[in-house]
Amino acid sequence: MLRRIVLFALLLTTFRAQSAAAEPLHQQIDRLIAAKTPNYDKLAAPLADDAEFVRRIHLDLTGMIPNAKQVRDFLADKSPDKRTKLIDRLLATPEFARHMQRRFDVVLMRRLRGRNVPDAAWEAFLRKSFADNKPYDKLVREILANDGRDPKNRGPAKFYLDRNGDVNELTRDIGRVFLGADLECAQCHNHPEIDDYKQADYYGISAFLVRSYVFRDRKKRNQMVFAEKAVGEVSFESVFDVRDKKSKGPQSTTPKVFNVAAPDEPKVKKGQEYKVKPTKAVAGVPKFSRRELLPALITSEKNDRFPRTAANRLWAMFLGRGLVHPVDRDHSDNPPSHPELLQLLTKEFREHKYDTKWLVRELLLSRTYQRSSVNVADAASIRADAGSVRHGSLPEAAFAQAILRPLTPEQFAWSVLQATGEADVQRTALGKKLTEDALHRRLAAYETRFVTLFGGVPGEPPDDFESTVDQVLFLSNDPQMAGLLKPKPGNLTARLLKLPADKPQQIAEELFLSVLSRKPTNQDVADVTAYLKNQTGPKRTAAVQELVWATVCSAEFRFCH
């Protein structure tokens, strides 16, 4: 009898494992999200309607809103799988690669201005990597292994060189970006608020970089490279121990990534430490490079922090907040809102060879992602029933509805260009020469202006929505913005002026589909009708321009919802 019970238990375990393996990841996501919150299915927002979905998916995958025709076509499509088809189509576009380039440029470089590596080379490297769907671990290894010596492949060296090789800045950013750990407060002592972050963890990463230095090659037009010496150790002591007579004094550590230590260094005979000995005119190349160990150790199978951080960051990018939130505060006192789900995403991302497009696709196919941003019917009940979900104010941490996300400066810029019709004007002007890259070059100056105004201080991009006097003045009075509103063949103002004045329903529909990616409500139509009533000639032109401006500057436009 006992043998039968054991055999049955083994068979049941095998069946459950096989069932879980057969279940697509997006369905597992929905199951695990729902399981965390009692009565989730009753309390969660419904799926977004087609208008809300088509706008959100274009913003998330192309970095701009859809045009009116794309919205109309999607709303008219009766295919049951039209959302899946749209996701797949947008993932294959060059716009997706550029949008991911922009998002990861901010993650990796924090909008730091180009110093030693041209922005164009770095952006082209990132864009091609996402267009080719390069495995994420390979992308990171290429960044951390590049020293800038190859003149044909200097783009990835921006990570090191545009931080001027500053060891402390690099240590902090490597921990924050690739390991989900902001170790800044562990530089001078063990982190005062996070027990998991030790001073030795900070200097374990620093030890890979302490021998590196930026070298200016005057023979190659002052080209900067990230050279390395054969010697150099880290030394650290807690500021709290400096005056303690019982202190053992400064400590040292070998290179390590938290608990994953680098292999022992080979012994090199004195005088034979270099392949190329460093001088004032020559960059050093040691026989043994500590820094060369870093890319492999960061992405090592022993280092679970790497895939966990990457999966959590992608989740936050598309869902509005991390399962561990903030994404660079992953420690035992700040556990994930859904531990089993984060563990699953980590495992699946690694097992799928760090296929970024695959993971993004699964996230977007989930009902969790596709929920509406409308208020949950009974948010108070969620707060009362979901006490096990620990982060923030629910329902955000329960992912019971789509989280409002302010448009990034780039999304805002390109959505304004799309909404006002300037992008369509330039597409027409390019004719047979139209490509995504050609269109981008034509309109890049607009993007630069928006990023300058809305991107925050270089090195400190804002996390939340903010509104400054300069931003308000730009949207209200800037000649560049005003130029987008003036009627010209093919733009939105011109299209609206061509519609019959006695049919305000048509005017309202074209306006709202073009700017807000939805059809107008009865109240919207009434407002447009009242505003344009008795407006003729130049006054009508000015009134239409005001309507376009007001809609583009609305709160509804400024957010991904």
Residues 6+ apart with CB under 8 A from 334: 194, 324, 325, 391
Quote the percentage of the chain above a pLDDT of 90: 76
**Around 133, how many Cα atoms within 13 Å sit in the side-chain half-sphere?**
13
Higher pLDDT, 384 or 166: 166
DSSP code for 458: T
Six token digits for residue 321: 């907040």
Whole-angstrom Cα distance, residue 4 to residue 6?
5
Each residue's pLDDT tens digit, 217-247: 887 777 899 999 999 999 877 766 555 555 6
Strand, helix or coil at 525?
A: helix
Residue 390 has pLDDT above 60, yes or no: no
Q: Give the C-alpha separation, 61 to 317, whole Å.
A: 11
pLDDT recorded at residue 385: 47
Q: What is the pLDDT of residue 108?
A: 97
pLDDT tens-digit readout, 255-274: 999 999 999 999 998 889 99
The answer to whether 465 touches 406, Cβ cutoff 8 Å, is yes
The length of the chain, given as a count of residues: 561
Measured in whole angstroms, how far is the alpha carbon of residue 432 from the centre of its chain?
A: 33
- Per-residue confidence (pLDDT) for residue 304, from 0 to 100: 97
pLDDT at 218: 83
- Cα dist from 72 to 68, 78, 230, 326, 428, whole Å: 6, 12, 64, 38, 20
Comparing 5-9, 432-436, 456-460, 551-555, which segment has the lowest mean pLDDT?
Answer: 5-9
- Over 70: is that where the pLDDT of 30 sits? yes
State how far the Cα of 143 lies from the Cα of 161, in Å rounded to an integer.
11
Instruction: Say which range, 154-168, 303-317, 371-385, has the weakest mean pLDDT.
Output: 371-385
Please report how the helices 167-178 and 305-319 are oriented relative to each other, as an axis angle in degrees rounded to 10. 70
DSSP class of 265: P
Q: Average the pLDDT over 358-384 and give the result.
A: 79
pLDDT of residue 217: 85
- The pLDDT-based confidence of 382 (bands split at 50, 70, 90) is very low
pTM for this entry: 0.92
Exposed/middle/buried for residue 499 (C-beta within 10 Å: 0-12, 13-18, 19+): middle
| pLDDT for res 378 | 46
Residue type at 79 in one-letter notation: S
Residue 4: which pLDDT band, with cuts at 50, 70 and 90? low
Average pLDDT, the chain: 90
Kindly state the average pLDDT of the residues 496-519. 96
| Residue 558 token pair | 């400024």
3-state SS of 138-197 is: HHHHHHHHCCCCCCCCCHHHHHHHCCCCCHHHHHHHHHHHHCCECCHHHCCCCCCCCCCC
Of 83, 113, 185, which Cα lies nearest the Cα of 448?
113
Q: Quick check: 82 pLDDT over 70?
A: yes
Does pLDDT of 1 surpass 80? no
275 φ, ψ (degrees, to nearest 5): -75, -45
162 Cβ partners below 8 Å, 6+ apart? 109, 112, 114, 115, 116, 117
Please answer whether residues 162 and 115 qualify as being in contact, where contact means their C-beta atoms are separated by less than 8 angstroms.
yes
- For residue 170, count other CB atoms closer than 10 A to its CB: 22
Reported confidence tier of residue 250, pLDDT bands at 50, 70, 90 = confident
Which pLDDT value is given to residue 361? 98
Q: H or E segment at 82?
A: helix 82-91
- pLDDT value, residue 393: 40
Q: Tell whether the model's pLDDT for residue 295 goes beyond 70.
A: yes
Rg (CA), the chain: 27
Mean pLDDT, range 317-328, rounded to an integer: 97
Q: Where are the domains of the chain?
A: 25-95+304-394, 165-298, 409-560
The beta-carbon contacts of 498-507 under 8 Å, at least 24 apart in sequence, are 501/532, 501/536, 501/540, 504/528, 504/529, 504/532, 507/532, 507/544
Mean pLDDT of 108-121: 90
Average pLDDT of 429-455? 95
Q: What is the pLDDT of residue 377?
A: 52
Sequential DSSP letters for 407-447 = PPHHHHHHHHHHHHTHHHHHHHHHGGG--HHHHHHHHHHHH
Q: What pLDDT is stored for residue 235 in this prediction?
A: 84
Q: Spell out the residues 6+ positions from residue 48 whose beta carbon is closer than 8 angstroms to its own.
A: 56, 370, 371, 372, 373, 402
Cα 224 to Cα 1, 220, 229: the distances in Å are 75, 9, 16
pLDDT band, residue 14 (cuts 50/70/90): very low
CA 356 to chain centre: 12
> How high is the pLDDT of residue 8?
52
3-class SS of residue 226? strand
Say what the pLDDT of residue 13 is: 47
Q: How confident is the model over 119-177, as pLDDT tens digits?
A: 999 999 999 999 999 999 999 999 999 999 998 999 999 999 999 999 999 999 999 99
How much of the chain exceeds pLDDT 70, in percent? 90
Q: Name the more confident of 201 and 4.
A: 201
The confidence band for 7, taking pLDDT boundaries of 50, 70 and 90, is low
What kind and span of H or E run contains 224?
Answer: strand 223-228
